[in-house]
Amino acid sequence: MTSAVEPLGQAGRDADVLIVGAGPVGLTLANLLGQRGVRTLVLEALGELIDYPRAVGIDDEALRVMQTLGLVEEVLEHTIPDQKIYMINGERTILSEVNPTTREFGWPRRNGFVQPLVDQVLLGGLDRFPHVEVRFATEVLDATQDADGVQVTLRTDGGGEQVLSAGYLVGADGGSSSTRKRLGLTFEGETRESKGLVIDVRNDPIGTPHAVFGGDPKRGYASISLPHGLRRWEFTLFPHEPESLAEDDAFIYDLLAEHVPDPKRLDIIRRRVYTHHARIAERFRVGRILLAGDAAHVMPVVGGQGWNSGIRDAVNLGWKLAAVVQGLAGDDLLDTYESERLVHVQQMVAISVGMANEMTDHDAERTRLRDLAAAQRTPEEQAAVRNQAFKPQPKYDIGAVVHTPAATFKTLPDREVPRVAGTIYPQPTVRTTDGVDRLLDDATGQGWRVLVWNNDPTALLGAEAIAAVERLGGALVQIVPSTQLHWAATNAAPGVVVVGDLGTLQAWFDARPTSVVVVRPDHVVAAECLAQELEATLGAVFRAAHLRA
């Protein structure tokens, strides 16, 4: 979608959606809403975007979201694809390697990146949408809500106050979120006793492309290559060490003495002390006010999933807010945002805490046992770590998903087949009818999709169901082996998108008893079924998602 989309929200309001915070989550959400024609206003208390690196890893799910936004090529300029991680102990023995090479979702699973430059890409992307505005140096003083909307009191750069109205407000204003505090929500979890000292330098004195996490019991550290000749170090600060040590050159040079030949020659950009939290808000939605990103959950940086988890929030919430604002879905759809995201957030926080505990443990006996366990891993266990199998994929058991009983039909030999409803649909390269090989989302469109193996979707649906998909801006997609592409395209029904499979999707359907998937705008499988069940399954999806189509 482009800025040509006509705004369809409710008149008489200053915006359909107010977003508090112009960080990556707020900017991603604003781009998603902008694509769907939602009048959006982003309010940022700072005078400009934060210019220092914070997150340093972007994953394949987040890159797919950047693709959805139409910004992925600009984002890729600031990444190191397939960045390997070595996890080592105090003797510099490799405990494990993380080096996934999968392209399941179309992009590398692990990538180093420079967050401020990607944030600038997200901000620039909003220039495409005349119905989206960002206001810097604008502080939210208060926010109230009633049955009809949200009212926000602002203080502008000039010191004056203003009251604005909107249909919904999203607090994407960070871990110290005023939005969350104003709602009176608890932020349960823990704050780690030890802090982290981050040192960023220009003109990378090492230059190797990988990252190293040092689980040294004397002092844990990380050394991470970043794009454009940058490097980051992070060292554990012990509780007895004051934050003021960040400004002590002698202390900094001593920390780096084992890492570079001459620490005094480093071109240090900045030094910052971070406190590591692991907390989750008790609720992500209170009426017309929702929380996203760090405002809803924070986690230790070791897992590299804080930034990416916020992007998952945005892509889950974006299509739902747009559908509600535009009258395509009932307000109850927004309840599925929390019910879907909460479980995965809990899993990611637990994984991040576990990794932080493992790599920053300063107990000699526990680290000895850790090293022993790593040395005794089987080749299969080593491969699982290398492929990042410890990272849980989102899987929504409840929410805007439908779990059909299709696996009971005798389409496969008797074996257990995992359900795919609630998981992210893969994105292989397919062939379009003009003979061009493209990623699946680019070939089929980014909205609702009904993907049918081999069959003509219009032969499986009545006129009302077809019209409902069209009203949602969705696509009916016929997938055929690439050998059949010309014939299928020549004989396709009007409005059907035909793509040629290069082998990946046939293998995907071969492993399952179903031949149809309904995919949501956030690339999550809403339901799977047999061809004959499609009309009934689509109706069940519409009901689960509170869609009025």
Cα of 363 vs its chain's centroid, Å: 34
Rounded distance, CA 96 to CA 85, Å? 8
Query: For residue 497, what are its two tokens?
Result: 């998108």
First to last CA, the chain: 20
Name residue, tokens 């992307």.
125
Count the Cβ atoms, other than its own, within 10 Å of residue 252: 21
Instruction: Write the single-letter amino acid at 411.
Output: T
User: Can you name the CATH fold of 406-544?
Assistant: Glutaredoxin (3.40.30)
168 three-class SS = strand
Q: Determine the Cα–Cα distance for residues 249 and 237; give it in Å rounded to an integer.
A: 15
Q: At 531, which amino acid appears?
A: A
Q: Cα 51 to chain center, whole Å?
A: 21
Decide if 221 contacts 233 (C-beta within 8 A): yes
Parts of the chain belonging to CATH 3.50.50.60: 15-191+278-386
Domain with CATH 3.40.30.10 in the chain: 406-544
| Residues 6+ away with beta carbon under 8 Å from 347 | 392
Q: For residues 11-33, b (16+ Cβ closer than 10 Å) or e, as one string? A: eebbbbbbbbbbbbbbbbbbbbb
Whole-angstrom distance, CA of residue 38 vs CA of residue 132: 8
207: which strand partners?
A: none
Whether the CB-CB separation of 289 and 179 falls below 8 Å is answered with yes
Q: Which residues pair with 161 in a beta bridge?
A: 155
Q: Is 201 exposed, middle or buried (0-12, 13-18, 19+ CB in 10 A)?
A: buried
DSSP 8-state code for residue 6:
P
Cβ contacts of 388 within 8 Å, gap of 6 or more:
98, 100, 109, 110
Residue in 483, 477, 465, 468 with CA at minimum distance from that of residue 516: 477
What is the rounded distance in angstroms from the CA atom of residue 439 to the CA atom of residue 426?
10
The CA distance from 15 to 151, in Å, is: 11
What pLDDT, on a 0 to 100 scale, did the predictor assign at position 440? 98
pLDDT at 391: 80
Per-residue HEC secondary structure of 291-339 comes to ECHHHCEECCHHHCCHHHHHHHHHHHHHHHHHHHHCCCECHHHHHHHHH
Q: Which CATH number fits domain 15-191+278-386: 3.50.50.60, 1.10.10.60, 3.40.50.720, 3.40.50.10360?
A: 3.50.50.60
Give the DSSP letter string of 233-293.
Answer: EEEEEPTTS-GGGGG-HHHHHHHHTTTSS-GGG-EEEEEEEE--EEEEES-SEETTEEE-G
Tokens representing 258 are 């084992």
Q: Mention the CATH class of domain 195-275.
A: alpha beta
Q: Tokens 């003083």 appear where? A: 141
Query: b/e for 290-304, b at 16 or more Cβ within 10 A?
Result: bbbbbbbbbbbbbbb
Dig out the tokens for 338 from the structure.
Answer: 């929390």
Q: Provide the residue-wise pLDDT of the chain in tens; the chain has 549 residues.
A: 333 444 555 667 999 999 999 999 999 999 999 999 999 999 999 999 988 768 899 999 999 999 999 999 999 999 999 999 999 999 999 999 999 888 999 999 999 999 999 999 999 999 999 999 999 999 999 999 999 999 999 998 888 899 999 999 999 999 999 999 999 999 999 988 788 999 999 999 999 999 999 999 999 999 999 999 999 999 999 999 999 999 999 999 999 999 999 999 999 999 999 888 899 999 999 999 999 999 999 988 776 688 999 999 999 999 999 999 999 999 999 999 999 999 999 999 988 888 888 888 888 899 999 989 999 999 999 998 888 877 888 899 999 999 987 555 677 776 677 789 999 999 999 999 999 999 999 999 989 999 999 999 999 999 999 999 999 999 999 999 999 999 999 999 999 999 999 999 999 999 888 999 999 999 999 999 999 999 999 999 999 999 997
Alpha carbons 410 and 480: distance in angstroms, whole number: 23
